[in-house]
Chains A and B, each alone.
Chain A
Amino acid sequence: MGETTIGPRTRIEGSVTGRDVLVVEGEIRGTVTMEAPIRIEREGRLEAEVQGPEVAIGGTVQGHVIGLKKVEILPGAKMIGDVRTPRILISDGAVFRGRVDMDVGEG
Chain B
Amino acid sequence: MADDQGSRTEIGPETLVTGDVRADEDIVVFGRIDGTVSSTTAVIVEDGGRVGSRIEAPTVIVAGWASGDVIGTERVEITESGRVLGNVYAPRLVLLEGGAVKGRVVMDGSRPDSVQAPVPTRTVTARPVASQPGTAARRSAAPASRTVREPVSATRAKAAAAPAPRAAANPGLLDLGDDGEPKVD
Binding site for B on A (CB under 8 A): 1-22, 25-26, 30, 34
Contacts of A34 in B (CB 8 A): 15
**A13 and B19: CB pair below 8 A?**
yes
Q: Which of B12, B13, B25, B31 contacts A10 (CB 8 A)?
A: B25
Segment touching A, from B3-11, B73-81, B111-119: B3-11
**A14 and B7: CB pair below 8 A?**
no
What is the interface size of chain B, counting residues whose CB is below 8 A from a CB of the partner? Answer: 25
CA distance in complex: A22, B11 (Å): 9
For B32, the closest partner residue in chain A by CB is A18
For A23, the closest partner residue in chain B by CB is B10
Contact of A18 with B7 at beta-carbon distance under 8 Å, contacts A11-B22, A11-B23 already known: no
Q: Is B20 an interface residue (CB 8 A)?
A: yes
Q: What are the interface flags for B1-43 relative to A under an 8 Å C-beta threshold, 1 for contact and 0 otherwise? A: 0010001111111111111111111110011000100000000
Contacts of B25 in A (CB 8 A): 7-10
CA distance in complex: A15, B12 (Å): 14
